[in-house]
Structure 1
Amino acid sequence: MPSPLEIVRVPVLSDNYSWLVHDPDSGTTMVIDPGEAQPVLDAAASRGWTISEIWNTHWHPDHVGGNAAIVAATGARVTAPEAERAKIGAIDAGVSDGESVSLGGHRAAVMTVPGHTQGHVAFHFADDSAIFTGDTLFAMGCGRLFEGTPADMFGNMQRYARLPAETRVYCGHEYTQSNGRYALVAEPDNQAIKARMARVDAARAAGEATIPTTIGEELATNPFLRATSAEELGERRAAKDSFRG
């Protein structure tokens, strides 16, 4: 059995998270969604790691903005959605739904999860009980529908809901507190949301992160993962877009 992956949260920009993922057996390190380069390079260097891989979930600049500088500093290889090659640029390997990618002895399945962007992918390390969801599944939320439809995002949520409950979810932003405030309005009688928000508020007051979450926790508290139809998800997404709570 390979040693467990080491996963390190790296805050970048205003509220983004990039993720350093290290395989201790092979010594290989990759970063998922480097919105900027220097914090990621510094976090790797502080651990004696050298980044050899960059994996992008989608083309938005706050997820790929550090690619070029990290490649220049380390020679890292870029893996990203094939459907967004033209928007990301300088991709070494384009990936699509059903394919797999590896970090040392750890293999991740590629899931195309459209809606936020149409080529958006997630990387699921099933054997490590971890998934990197970019801007699709958030803690108590989902991504805005910039390029897709409620049906697209509902399909994503159904796929995520079928994953094992213990799967850790590593997403791209610290949006939990604002998402939770809307969740309290969407499901005012959900006691699990109320209890979770008490923990979230305490964590944020202490300057602590709320990510990763788990599929199980999201099934209990995420109004988008809990939506029963594309129509309901679309209504909730529209309400969240204008929510000022």
Structure 2
Amino acid sequence: MIIWDFGWAGAVVLLIALAAASVRILREYERGVVFLLGRFWKVKGPGIILVVPGIQQMVRVDLRLVVMDVPSQDVISRDNVSVQVNAVVYFRVVDPQKAIIHVANFFEATSQLAQTTLRSVLGKHELDDMLAERERLNADIQQILDTQTDSWGIKVANVEIKHVDINESMVRAIARQAEAERERRAKVIHAEGELQASEKLLEAARVLAQSPQAMQLRYLQTLTNIAGDKSSTIVFPMPVDLMEALSKLAAARSGG
């Protein structure tokens, strides 16, 4: 058996090597979760920290905002329409101790939870809601994710639905529905215009009936408008009362 005797010089060299191996440098956005003999000790950083090799172990945790893309998910809406939806989730670690100890891989766990939550929330809404009320759906998904990941030391800052893909047959059906809706609105507007016009005509007829002179002035105004159109044919409106008077006169002469 050979015994190596380093002496004081060897001890100094060993201490220097041990100190060099113990030095860790953490950036401003990093924290180190330190374990002492397998048990959690403390969270250190940023800056220079010491980790004793063999006795302590450190896990680095990034505190910056993470942008995670949620893969496209097949969703059946409440009105039985099949769509593909993808989204993006913004989150960050706020408690490094929980993020390392309470979940094996917080990034993968957050990704899987985001996918299932996206399908669950959107499946409760109709297609029109997915297309027109994205802000409300984003807020609902963000709130659910933030509540679930709070015990992991994760803060979900925002969720944005990026695309809602619909197959071509459904796109054509939606186009036909939109066209039918526009036609319905046009008919309703036209009917309302006819109703308002009839009410105004009835009111005008009552006013003209109270004054025969106003009726004559209306006849003259109509003739003026017709003459201004440079038309070779002029249709003169004959009063109904005058027609009745002429009919009575003709009947009296024929009877006499």
TM-score range, shorter chain: under 0.3
Higher helix share: 2
Based on CA coordinates, which of the two structures has the bigger radius of gyration? 2
TM-score where L is the length of structure 1: 0.21
TM-score where L is the length of structure 2: 0.20
